[in-house]
Amino acid sequence: VSGIPRIAPEPADAIRCKFDRLKQGSGTHSPSIATIRRDIPELRIEVDACFLSNPYATDLFMERLDRDLIATGRLRDVLEFYPPQNYDAAGYISQVSGIPPDFIFPGNGASEVIQAVIQRFAGPIVALPVPTFSPFYEFAPAATQVRFYRLDEAAGFRLDVADYCRFVRECGATTAILVNPNNPNGYYVARDEVRALLSSLRDLSAVLLDESFIHFAYEDDDSLDMVSSERLVEEFSNLIVVKSMSKDFGIAGVRAGYGIMQPARVQELTASGYLWNLSGLADYFFRTYGEPGFRTQYEEARRRFIRDSDSFFAEARAIEGITVYPTRANFMLVCLADGWRSFDFAMEMLINHGVYTRDCSDKVGLEGPFIRIASRSRTENVRILHALRQTAVTGP
């Protein structure tokens, strides 16, 4: 590990150029690490700090899968046969969340849930705080108008719930979206405020609450207990909650997520063809997730990761030349010193240090040089911090 460029200037330019081309081909998303490795094999990526997940939970799940499916040879059954229909998985999720299964819509990743609900239950006018996860506006049908509520950089990109509710009324929105914690900055809206928002907007046709990163948030510093608002669907009939398993369980390749909403909405989606959208492995994941013993082990992995992440964010805040915004997610939004282009900074981190971060220059609602950096394992975080210090100190 060193600050000296590992790759000579000319090959570095070539890599920069290849990476830029890959990025253009990925739309408003980052090229996956598999794609980068295939197309830029000369680049050695050592830490993927673009990827948002809990690596300790991946360890846990893989150990379990080795024992259950590999050692026993049962992996074949999972891949060969049709998985059960979705209501089986809804039953397992219900055991964890306490919400009746008919409120639960299992999905092929949270992105399928977002796609399904944004196209059927949102609109005609949707209010959306930005910057945020782009599918909320990209997947909306052409006839749906998306009104951006711009978060203020000076306020650390925090969301003021009362002000947002005013905006919702002013723009005549029929649907309001809240991503909590938000991506890419990690702001967290406390449960009391979520409830206040829902009370204020209970006449809308839908309120979409995306809790994809809620496993990394907490309100009590000692217990680090998870604070989800998913059970509020039983109280607020317009609420739709989106949950991802990719981040908290570190299994993005499995594609597993779910939505929580009124049974009539679940039925409408199911009738339109969402029957076998879970793979055999996603079904296996949800079955495992339903087991109390597994969740006890997961809770340890979750708390350990939160503690490591908090230390990581604190150390990053001490680095001169960058600004780190408040976060209760497993990533931080970083503003670079004046003069930096975020693409250049991300490329320095990648080429000189093997650390892959998210250049946020394509994010609607972010003006200026921003990158998003994920917390990874404790040893990886040490490498990320080293790379950050070395890069920030060189100046643009």
Residues that bind a copy of itself (CB under 8 A): 25-27, 29, 31-35, 48, 51, 53, 58, 61-62, 65, 70, 75-85, 87-88, 108-109, 111-112, 114-115, 118-119, 135, 138-139, 141, 246, 250-255, 271-283
Task: Choose between 114 and 130: whose C-beta lies nearer to a copy of itself.
Answer: 114
Whole-number minimum distance, CB 147 to a copy of itself, in Å? 20
In angstroms, how far is CA 69 from the centroid of its own chain? 28
Contacts of 140 (CB under 8 A, 6+ apart): 118, 119, 122, 123, 126, 146
194 or 281, CB closer to a copy of itself? 281
Nearer to a copy of itself, 276 or 393 (CB): 276
Smaller CB distance to a copy of itself: residue 87 or 148? 87
Residue 70 DSSP class: I
- Closer residue to a copy of itself (CB): 86 or 200: 86
Q: How far is the CB of 41 from a copy of itself (least distance, A)?
A: 15
For the CB of residue 281, give the shortest distance to a copy of itself in the complex, in Å. 7
For the bound state, the minimum distance from the C-beta of residue 60 to a copy of itself, rounded and expressed in Å, comes to: 12
CA 251 from centre of chain: 12
Burial 297-308 (b: 16+ CB within 10 A, else e): ebeebbbebbeb
Percentages helix, strand, coil for the chain, rounded to the nearest 5? 45, 15, 40
Q: Virtual CA dihedral for 55, 87, 296, 245, nearest 10 degrees? A: 20
Cβ distance to a copy of itself smaller for residue 193 or 291: 291
Measure the CA–CA gap between 283 and 355, rounded to whole angstroms: 33
Instruction: Name the one residue in this structure whose structure tokens are 């317009």.
Output: 238
Find the shortest distance in angstroms from Cβ 31 to a copy of itself: 8
- The minimum distance between CB 202 and a copy of itself, in angstroms, equals 28
In angstroms, the CA 386 to CA 396 distance is 17
Name which of 26 and 394 has its Cβ closer to a copy of itself.
26
Helix (H) or strand (E) holding 113: helix 110-120
Pairing label, strands 175-179, 145-150:
unpaired
Q: How far is the CB of 170 from a copy of itself (least distance, A)?
A: 28
Q: Residue 374 forms beta bridges with which residues?
A: 331
